[in-house]
Structure 1
Amino acid sequence: MTDWAAFDNLHALGVPVAGVPASATPSYLAPLVPEGTPRVGSLQEPDIEGIAAAEPDLVIVANRSRPAYETLRQLAPTLDMTVDNADIVGGVKASLAQYGAIFGRQARAAALTAALDAKVKEAREAAAGRGSGLVVVTNGGRLGVYGPGSRVAWIYDALAVPSVFAGVDDGDHGGDAISAEYLSEKNPDWLFVVDRDAGIGQEGSARATLDNELIHGTTFWRKNQIVYLDPAAAYVTMHGVTGLMRLLDQVIEGYRGGA
């Protein structure tokens, strides 16, 4: 198991795992990892030797660990569960269905999928008619923006939140770099914030980065329409059903608590 979203989905299905990543453990998943579970390298660099020594029945790679696929498949049966960010909700449901079929958890997978569909519907209804949105990422005191097709595309696509721009180059870890002036000019009704620093286990910077005079004049700041997304779920495990449900709950709560 070289991916936290894979662990998330398998745990939700009741499937035990024989190893988990050694880095960027989401706080909401940490208590679910059985004590003594082997750690098999970082998200980007699985411990090939350690995995080989464990002689697993199945190895799972995904978005960050997939470069190791060709090496790992020579050691054991290996499954690539990479999810396309352009359809995260669909990808999570497909992952649940595939795991359910492999491990005989079809009924549980169907129940989780139904719950996810209901939560997406609830969030979409909460967002309807509430104005435009923008997803930003903070990273070491810098601001970036995420758009359709990114790791947070579900906010625009699945929830039909209108974006304030037509396109953005957000392939980097910190999104497409922007400034406070950009936020002031675009002035979205809602701001969704991903704190990358906190997401990878460092000290968070989001609230301090956004606290300046230019941003204080925006609609989202004046109306307190800022949703701080769970950093680990938004940056690391958005392809896991528990992580995505957690994010959807935060969006729903944000809209219900906004002006």
Structure 2
Amino acid sequence: MAKVAFLGLGVMGYPMAGHLKTKGGHDVTVYNRTPAKAEKWAAEFGGTAKATPKEAAEGADFVLSCVGNDDDLRSVVLGEQGAFAGMSSGAIFVDHTTASADVARELYATGQEIGVSFIDAPVSGGQAGAENGVLTVMCGGDDGAYAKAEPVIAAFARSCKLMGGSGAGQLTKMVNQICIAGLLQGLSEGMNFGMKAGLDMGKVIDVISKGAAGSWQMENRGGTMCDGKFDFGFAVDWMRKDLGICLSEAKNNGARLPVTSLIDQFYAQVQGRGGNRWDTSSLVHLLAND
């Protein structure tokens, strides 16, 4: 059992922190920007809620976070009330936010100055993966810190791997999002084509999902795409944030992302239709309702 703090209790962080308590058996203290949610979590899981990241991090062996973006991450880590101000030398900070590789390296370097290890550890698996404790976690950081953190992360992870030095976790998550974006556009075109052709799409999905075209997205989103249902899952706003990170990083490393750039603009069109909180499979809406 470890003393763990968790910062950020959104749709991902809330259940992740819960698994740390129930499955991991850790002593968990939480912080959330909206105090009522932290109090609710504490009442539900029997942990402790604190008013600031610093207070939550004091005395913790591990501090985990899952917030919105680079600026949100800096706000809970840095400053007089940030987690770093409350952490002891030798403690480990594990960030599960999907953020830039730059902010990961920045906070890693700052942590080194005060004797705190920083691991960038974005996740894949969505809300369902967080609730069921089967997330995939891709990490960047030092070997020693990762070896200590991995058993803690295991409370909500199906797979966890160190991908390289600081920033490597975030870069791996960018690969993940690039692949998903292209896959969803192809799936959208395929589902729309099949519907226009008058096929029974339930049968189509059942058959082709067993072959080379099969994917998690097809099995879990193919049917709902055909039904025009998008009120669940990973929101378009979040995907656009992630793709923006990918496109920015591509400018730095020289990678060409022509399809990703195009799909990002398709998602902008979905936002224009009021689909900001629709699931990312809503790309098909642009084709089925042109």
Q: TM-score range by the shorter chain?
A: 0.3 to 0.5
- Is the radius of gyration larger for structure 1 or structure 2? 2
If each structure's helix is expressed as a fraction of its own residues, which one has the higher value? 2
User: Which structure would you say has the larger RCO, counting Cα contacts within 8 Å and 6 or more residues apart?
Assistant: 1
Task: Give the TM-score normalised by the residue count of structure 2.
Answer: 0.36
